[in-house]
Amino acid sequence: AQSVTQLGSHVSVSEGALVLLRCNYSSSVPPYLFWYVQYPNQGLQLLLKYTSAATLVKGINGFEAEFKKSETSFHLTKPSAHMSDAAEYFCAVPGYSTLTFGKGTMLLVSP
Amino acid sequence: DAGVIQSPRHEVTEMGQEVTLRCKPISGHNSLFWYRQTMMRGLELLIYFNNNVPIDDSGMPEDRFSAKMPNASFSTLKIQPSEPRDSAVYFCASTRDSPATDTQYFGPGTRLTVL
């Protein structure tokens, strides 16, 4: 079954700096890939979704992710971090019957 | 349209007591999921239903946990008897169609503390 690996359980950036959160998928090319975000004391919500229509996917709040088959990656980026981006981010891929989530990366943003 | 509704938002109980968590999925959604989230184990899928039928309960920790979905608009997760290690945030989520490829909409969660 498909799985995803998120490198780094915590990533720290300064406000205004580039955000890069890493996600690699296993084995075969997945038809879908997701990034979800969880703000403090809330449930997860969809940030963006890859559906093979385009390799560069734009999401909410200025985030985007690029699907790279050669690197089996789907990294999440944002050019300039904002304090409100502090949250936990989950990469996910369709598994056997449901979504399989990565272990999450906590993004810390300092002033 | 209202999102996924969970109740209660917080629950504090004593070891050995029965706990019932409730979820109302988004109207028209066919799949419903129960997750548990802890610092140690992260986000775990406990069980999911499709058209009110349990499809995969392999994530249910043990017989103390049970889940039901009597109709399309209501589901419960019951723990009996509860133990301190059950302390976690429990999330309910729903999707319109495919449980694997459609967007999952999460509720706000129930924070359970078992003393």
- The pLDDT tens digits of the residues spanning B1-59 come to 689 999 999 999 999 999 999 999 999 999 999 999 999 999 999 999 999 999 999 99
Classify each residue of B65-99 as buried b or exposed e, where b means 16 or more C-beta atoms within 10 Å of its C-beta.
bebebeebbebebebeebeeebbbbbbbbbbeebb
pLDDT at B112 over 90: yes
B31: Cβ contacts below 8 Å, ≥ 6 apart: B48, B49, B50, B94, B95, B96, B97, B98, B99, B102
Query: Do residues A59 and A47 lie in contact, with contact meaning Cβ atoms separated by under 8 Å?
Result: yes
Residue B109 has pLDDT above 70, yes or no: yes
CB contact at 8 A, B104 and B97: no
pLDDT tens, residue by residue, A47-97: 999 998 889 999 999 999 999 999 999 999 999 999 999 999 999 999 878
**Within an 8 Å CB–CB cutoff, is residue B25 touching chain A?**
no
Q: What is the pLDDT of residue A31?
A: 83
| In chain B, residues 64-93 whose CB comes closer than 8 Å to chain A | 91, 93
Hey, is the C-beta of B45 within 8 angstroms of any chain A C-beta? yes
Question: Is the CB of residue B58 less than 8 Å away from at least one CB of chain A?
Answer: no
- Chain A residues touching residue B33 (CB < 8 angstroms): 98
Tell me whether B33 touches chain A (CB under 8 Å).
Answer: yes
**Is residue B86 very low, low, confident or very high in pLDDT (cuts 50, 70, 90)?**
very high
**Cβ distance B44 to B103 under 8 Å?**
no
DSSP strands (E only) in B30-85: 31-38, 42-50, 53-56, 65-71, 74-79
Contact A43 B108 (CB under 8 A): yes
Q: How far apart are CA A87 and CA A45, in angstroms?
A: 11
Q: Among partner residues B45, B101, B107, which is closest to A32 by beta-carbon distance?
A: B101
What is the model's pLDDT at position B1? Answer: 65
- For residue B95, pLDDT beyond 90: yes
Contact B97, B26 (CB under 8 A): no
Q: Taken in order B92, B45, B67, B94, is the CA torsion positive or negative? A: positive
Looking at CA atoms only, how far is residue A28 from chain B in angstroms?
A: 16
B66, pLDDT greater than 70: yes
For A11-29, how does the pLDDT look when each residue is reduced to its tens digit (9 = 90+)? Answer: 999 999 999 999 999 877 7
What gap in Å lies between CA B68 and CA A101, rounded to an integer?
24
Q: Does A99 sit within 8 Å of B104, measured CB to CB?
A: yes
Say which residue, B61 or B8, is predicted with more confidence.
B8
Note the pLDDT of residue A21.
98
Helix (H, G, I), strand (E, B) or coil at A7: coil
Nearest CA in chain A to B98: A98
**The pLDDT of residue A30:** 82
Task: Say if A27 is an interface residue toward chain B (CB within 8 Å).
Answer: no
